[in-house]
Chains A and B, each alone.
Chain A
Amino acid sequence: MTTENNNLEREEAVVVALKATFPDLTARVKRIRRVEASVSKALTPSVLVHAKNVLGYKALSHISCVDWIEDEHFELVYILWNPDEKIQLLIKTLISRENATMENIDTIWRQANTYQREMREMFGIEFPGFVGAKEFLLEDWDDMPPMRRDFDTKEFVKEAFFLRPGREDAKDVRDTIAKRSKEEIPEFAKKYSREK
């Protein structure tokens, strides 16, 4: 990856512009074409609206969610794209893990609908006022939201599904195949056999 750190004027300008409107927010340039801003939960919708309508971040590229179970919060990352300036803006916000709720931004970007449906299902984050079909990827799921860090998928699998047992006899697979097809095992293969 070629990271040219010499010409970051446009990125710096974005940081300045963001800070001018929202003094509370911390922002920094990550690398060329990537700007990162940390915002408080309450401020997030207004920052998003400002970025979209004033700063020209028209496209919503992505909404991601990271579960920081040690610090007891979720980190929501709104990733916006400015098609004119060609800059990607990452707006990060922390929300509490207990009774997690977040502002609905369905009205700002229509496609946020899908992301919010996924987050509601996978992390259990509620969006007050958000209308969207309840089930997205899972069907009849009654366990913990699966993308939370404390959901142990291995334990769940052991309970819910049948697991094919491994080869307990630890025999060489060649022998099994040969026995089934009633073939003679060639001489050279016999020395690899574990069954002595």
Chain B
Amino acid sequence: MKREKATTLYLGPQHPGITGNMMVKLKVEGDTIVNSTTHVGYLHRGFEKLMERRNWLQSFTIVCRICVPEPDPNEENYARAVEEIEGREVPERAQWIRTLVLELARIGTYLLWFAGQSGSAGLYTMGQWSIGDRDYVLDLFEELTGGRVYHMYIWPGGVRRDLPEGFEAKVLQTMDYLEKRLIQYDKLMFDNTIFQKRAMGVGWIDPEKAIEWGVVGAPLRAAGIASDVRKDDPYEVYDQLDFEMGHATTSDVWGRAQVRRFELEQSINLVRQIIEKMPKGEYYNRIPNPMKWVVPAGDAYVKTESARGEFGYYVVSDGTNKPRRVHIKGPAYVHAMTLLEDMLKGANVSDVSFIMNSLGTCPPEIER
């Protein structure tokens, strides 16, 4: 009789290494993983059911809570889907403000990701720095929207309020600060040989299969495939802005780190461009009384490039004052389930949370 050598190791749900509240069940032989299963559902709130019971505007409070680290792409997606079904025009200034908010959110999420990626490798100093700096971005959000984490700022028909006075100068100041800090981040994390040793060759995704497997966002770009919703399916004013996609060919954790590092820099540039080019004018195409607001029947699939990948919303209206169906697909829906399960086979136990962070795993958007 063959003796079972594998140990079962439960990574989560109560585990400091796991990103959020989920569980990866590992079968381990020595330090090598032979099998892994992702278990989710610890955060399931039934958002899509709740939205069927709320009217179109009430659903907004729900939409932004789907992804905690980066709520703005969700708001934007939902607003854009509703606008597409209804055919509502968005003033030009509102589009620019939305783009600004999205880019700021991207910067904040990348800073949070720096913390996750380096923290899972034991470099806690980086996390302390970057999350501290992320707070300056959150301060900007607080001034703009009144909320630190959940903003509920991007509405159908525009944005909720105009930029406050002197806001542009503050944004530029923060961007200058972040750019200076980026040099220090490089020294601490990206030029660190130990980090490079940890990251190189770990978590490899086959570039030829990547598209078919549903890889999106930074992991796909790190596999050498130029794919960015901002370029491929431009929304808001991204077609009027000048930026580059991150690019790497190694298709491992190191490549993803480089892509994200590059895109943080690009986002800082984008914010500067937006502030420079932003036109004056109306910021809100007012919707009728929200309680009686009826959206005509129809459906729309919209998507946004969030910091972790492509966010897709499929919204169906049946011509009443409530959405018929809002179906959300976040990048982690594929990344953390089938892809992660495949990638972990043969990996080292030490690298599990490292790989998970590099894929941008975020359980709330799997479960909603």
Contact = CB atoms under 8 A, between A and B. Distances in A.
A191 interface: no
Interface in A1-40: 1, 3, 31, 33-34
B212 A114 contact: no
Given A1-B84, A88-B233, A136-B40, A146 B46 contact: yes
A154 B342 CA distance: 39
A66 B318 CA distance: 11
Nearest to B226: A83
B214 A135 contact: no
A86 B41 contact: no
A114 B337 contact: yes
Given A59-B211, A146-B49, A138 B312 contact: no
A125 to B, nearest CB: 14
Interface residues of B, number: 41
A67 B84 contact: no
Contacts of B59: none
A13 B80 CA distance: 26
A61 B316 contact: no
A170 interface: no
Given A77-B314, A136-B41, A153-B46, A64 B325 contact: yes
Chain A interface category by residue count: 35 or more
Interface stretch (B276-284, B327-335, B347-355): B327-335
Nearest to A148: B49
Contacts of B80: 1
B214 A60 contact: yes
A77 B44 CA distance: 22
Contacts of A149: 52
Given A64-B314, A66-B316, A79-B314, A111 B334 contact: yes
A105 interface: no
A41 to B, nearest CB: 19
B301 interface: yes
B327 A59 contact: no
A62 B48 contact: no
B266 interface: no
A139 B41 contact: yes
A79 B81 CA distance: 15
B161 interface: no
A190 B134 CA distance: 42
Contacts of B325: 64, 66-67
B213 interface: yes
A1 B89 CA distance: 7
A154 B49 CA distance: 11
A133 B37 contact: yes
A60 B337 CA distance: 15
Contacts of B301: 34, 61-62, 79, 88, 90
A79 B49 CA distance: 21
Contacts of A111: 213-214, 334, 337-339
Given A34-B301, A114-B338, A137-B367, A61 B49 contact: no
A64, A109, A133, A147: residue with the most chain B Cβ atoms closer than 10 Å = A64
B316 A58 contact: no
A154 B50 CA distance: 10
23 contacts: A1-B80, A1-B84, A1-B90, A33-B233, A34-B301, A59-B214, A60-B214, A62-B314, A62-B327, A66-B324, A77-B299, A79-B314, A83-B225, A83-B227, A111-B339, A113-B338, A135-B41, A138-B41, A138-B44, A139-B41, A147-B48, A147-B49, A151-B49
Given A61-B303, A61-B310, A146-B46, 15 more contacts: A64-B327, A65-B327, A67-B325, A83-B211, A111-B337, A114-B338, A135-B41, A136-B41, A137-B40, A139-B41, A146-B49, A147-B48, A147-B49, A153-B49, A154-B53
Q: Which 6 A-B pairs have the closest CB atoms?
A: A137-B41, A64-B327, A137-B44, A111-B214, A64-B314, A114-B337
